[in-house]
Amino acid sequence: MANTGRAAGMDLKPHYSRHIFFQQVRVMLQKLSRQKKLPPEQILEDHLRFISPLSLNAGEGEIGEICLTQDQQWQVEVFASGLTGAMGALPTAYTEWLIGRYYRYGDTAGKAFLDIFNHRLHSLRFLSWQKYHYYAAGEFTGSPPLSQAIRALAGVLQQSTVFQQEKFAGLLVHPVRSLVNLEIWLQQHFAVPARIIPFTGSWKRVDRTLCCRLGDPQQSLGAAPMLGPVYRDIQSNFNLTLGPVKHDDASLFLPEGRYYNQLWQQIRDYVGIGLDFEIDLLIDNAQSTTAVLGLGILGLDICLAQRYPAVCHKVRLPVFNR
């Protein structure tokens, strides 16, 4: 059984860190969790066992022998911060007494009893270490440890899931959401160039109570200054141009594409209900081939009469209605 444990221990040899206890445990948790398809916290609790040495010889590092026991637990000998051994917390007489019991009578009960506390002590040491080493905490829990803190500082913790992305927290933390940040956000999220033209204006309908009516004394020109049912509002609309994008990728942003709903929803959540916008898609024609009538989409890859001569052509996306 000793040979089996030694051979099994060789599997971890490329990942062995004799002088750093925390890194050794971290690497073992990574490897064992992949092998056994179990979370690291369960591996630490059920599949690792820490013991202190039954010897007064000084170790060549923090980690001693690693072997696989009969109950299929990995037993790790830790020289530092244990109860017995040359660097143990208990007086030397305890280690000497346990050594004598072992070699004279083969008695391991006393040492096994102390190793219960050794295992708990070293497990707590590792957990306290990984709590303040965020890369290890992320590996241990499976989620970024600073994610919630960053989203809380950015003020997006209680907002929609679209904004709960810590890599964009710097763009969302400002009290005033600018169109420049929206450009950067869309460029990084969809991996396409984005350009916003503000103040493009749009036609708004006017309430009938604000329109002047001939022959109605309650709707005189002084009280109802509007002539006509619509007016041009310059500041309530902007235009977004995406691209140029490759012809094969353009379909992702069309109404049947994967990004269409997501694009409109993200912009609407960012700017709120006070602004309207239009989205133009700039499609690169350099490498597109002539499509046969009936196999393409008019305005996207086929056209009437001659082929569109420009390198890029622009497509206005229809408004998305939830």
Question: Where do the structural domains in the chain lie, given as residue ranges?
Answer: 2-141, 160-316
Residue-level pLDDT at 125: 94
From 88-97, 142-151, 209-218, the region with the lowest mean pLDDT? 142-151
Q: 7 pLDDT band (50/70/90 cuts)? A: very low
Which comes out higher in pLDDT, residue 196 or 161? 196
Residue 90 has pLDDT above 50, yes or no: yes
Determine the average pLDDT of the residues in 252-271. Answer: 88
Residue environment code for 153-174, b if the CB has 16+ CB neighbours within 10 A, otherwise e: ebebeeeeebbbbbebbebbee
With CA atoms as reference, report the closest residue to 281 among 304, 305, 257: 257
For residue 215, is pLDDT > 80? no
- pTM beyond 0.85: no
Per-residue pLDDT at 19 = 85
Note the pLDDT of residue 117: 95
pLDDT of residue 6: 43
pLDDT of residue 77: 92
pLDDT score of 51: 94
**For residues 15-29, average pLDDT:** 84
pLDDT band at 207 (very low <50, low <70, confident <90, very high): confident
How would residue 14 be classed by pLDDT, with cut points 50, 70 and 90?
very low
pLDDT band for position 292 (50/70/90)? Answer: low
Name the residue with higher pLDDT: 288 or 259: 259
Return mean pLDDT, the chain.
Answer: 80
Instruction: Quote the CA–CA distance of 151 and 159 in Å, as a whole number.
Output: 10
Determine the average pLDDT of the residues in 293-309: 59
Q: Give 95-142 pLDDT, tens digit per residue.
A: 999 999 998 998 989 999 999 999 999 999 999 998 888 888 878 776
The pLDDT of residue 4 is: 44
Is 60 exceeded by the pLDDT of residue 309?
no
Whether pLDDT at 12 is above 60: no
Cα-based distances in Å from 286 to 28, 227, 245, 289: 53, 48, 11, 9
Average pLDDT (294-318) is 66
pLDDT of residue 83: 92
Q: For residues 152-178, give the mean pLDDT.
A: 67
| pLDDT for 213 | 72
pLDDT tens, position by position, 32-81: 888 888 888 889 999 999 999 999 988 888 888 888 888 889 999 999 88
